[in-house]
Structure formats: structure tokens, C-alpha cells
Amino acid sequence: MDSFTFYYCAISFCPYDCGCWRSSLLLPAETDEYLETQTLCQMESKDQKVLLAFDFDHTLIDNNSDTYIYKLAPGHKIPADLKNLYRKDGWTHYMGEVFKYLHSNGMRKEDILNCLKEIKLTDGMRELLIGVPKDLTEFIIISDSNAVFINHILQNLGIRELFCNIFTNPAEFDENECLHLQMYHHQDWCSLSTKNLCKGSILANYIKSREEEANVYFSTIAYVGDGVNDFCPSLRLKNCDIVFPRCGYDLLNVIPKMEAEKGLKLDADVCPWDTGKDILERLLLCYNGVGQQEILRPRVREQLLKVEN
């Protein structure tokens, strides 16, 4: 039998023993009436936590893990005809072809994994991860990278066990050590997102599943990102939540642009950051009174209207 190494888009490991073991796709939109009906409920302290959701590339790590492995190509460059395969919503297919190209030029599993070991955390991120109260916090990653890269980098950095779930594109090495990718899902309900990854629906589904399966409610949801595809999950959050867009990157510019041009205004507090320590300083304020706060229901916006281009 051929030997395969499998990695999945949502990895079932939870350091908090909180029953966090599976994920599923967000079902199609709820009714407008449901969205407009917000009730408040008081949760016991043991059921309330702070959710810290991260993008990966240029957020948790200070590189783009996909493009970082370009250095393995001949001349450290990807051929122009291969780059022409890229489309705005076709990054996963493009990277799949990049991996085939690297493999045809002699790159194997060990070469790729050794290259990824060079990648470091963004400044201050380790301090952030160890600086918040562990028993009151859940960490997840929602990324358009892939499961092989994210798992290997986190394990190399010694922080894999901190994350309850990682939502990303599935990946596997075949018996010839060529890396293959799949799309996380194929969505057609969100025009703010690429077809393979709607981060907003993934975030909403995770929050809903934690409530239904483990009776865990989040008094504050903090989303940390840098790119255009981080706008959709940011838009889902409410005024008790925080969006952390990285300074000098696209998300910080997209937020005011989408409000001015499309009328899409964030309800959450927007706190730009340069280092993880900036995030930690603001986030620590959210732990005052965890367990005594009222939780909005539904917790996040579960329906977004189609946005015309």
C-alpha cells in the first residue's frame, strides 16, 4: 500500500480539554428577522472565554509561508508562465502547480520542511500567546495557507499545542514526496471572500459549535489579521469585539475603503498593531469581568448580503 502523510483543515486537539474536536461549514444564510433579533443571556463564569482568532501569514508569522518556498526554485524564481496561472480566486490551484514545479526540479519533503524551519514569529507574538490567561482564552487560526505548512512551522516554534483548531486548506505529500493541496471548501455565498475560503463563515461556525457542543460562550472575540480576506470575519464581529489590523498591510486600508464605497462599517473596535505586544496590551483589558458579562445572541452576524463589485 502506498504511504501517504495526511493533514486536515481542522485539526482536532484542544489543550483545555473543552471538547473542541470538530468543525463543519456554516450553513447558508439565516433570515433577516433572525439577525435583527438579539437577546441577552447571562453565562456562568466557567462558560465564558475570550476567543483570539489569527490569520497566519504576515500576522502570526512575519512571512508569507507560500511564497517563502520560492527560494527552492531554480534561480530562486518561479517562471513567468507559471505565475500567469494565478487568479484572484485561484491561489490554491496556483500553489499546487508551484509544488509540482519544485518537485520536478528535485525538491522533496525534507527540502520543503527544512526551508519552513527558517520562518519566525512576528515580533511580540510569543509574548502575546503566553501573556493572556490560558484558562480564559481559546486560540484558533484561519488561514489560506495549508495544513502541512502551518503545523510544521508551529511545531518547530514550539507553540502548536496552544491552538484548539486550525482552519486551512488540506494538504498531503504523496508517495513521491510531492505536496498536493485541496480547497478548504467551495463557497458561493460570500463575495468578499475567495471561493476556497470564507473566513467569516468559518469563524461564525466555530463560535456556534462551541456554544452548542461545549456550552462555551465568548465575551470578547478578537480577530488579528493583515489582508483583504480578513475583512469578512472582521465584519461579522460586534461592538464588544476587537479587530486588530496590522499596520502597513492591506486590511487597515480596506476597512475605511469598504465603509466609504460599500457602506460596510465594522461594529467592532479597530486597533491597529505593529507588534504582538500592542495586541496584548489592549486585549488584557477584556478579561476584567469575564464570567459576569452579558452575551449578545446571536453572537456574530451570520448573514452578509452579496456585495456588488
Which residues carry out catalysis?
A: 55, 57
- Residue 81 exposed, middle or buried by CB count within 10 Å (0-12, 13-18, 19+): exposed
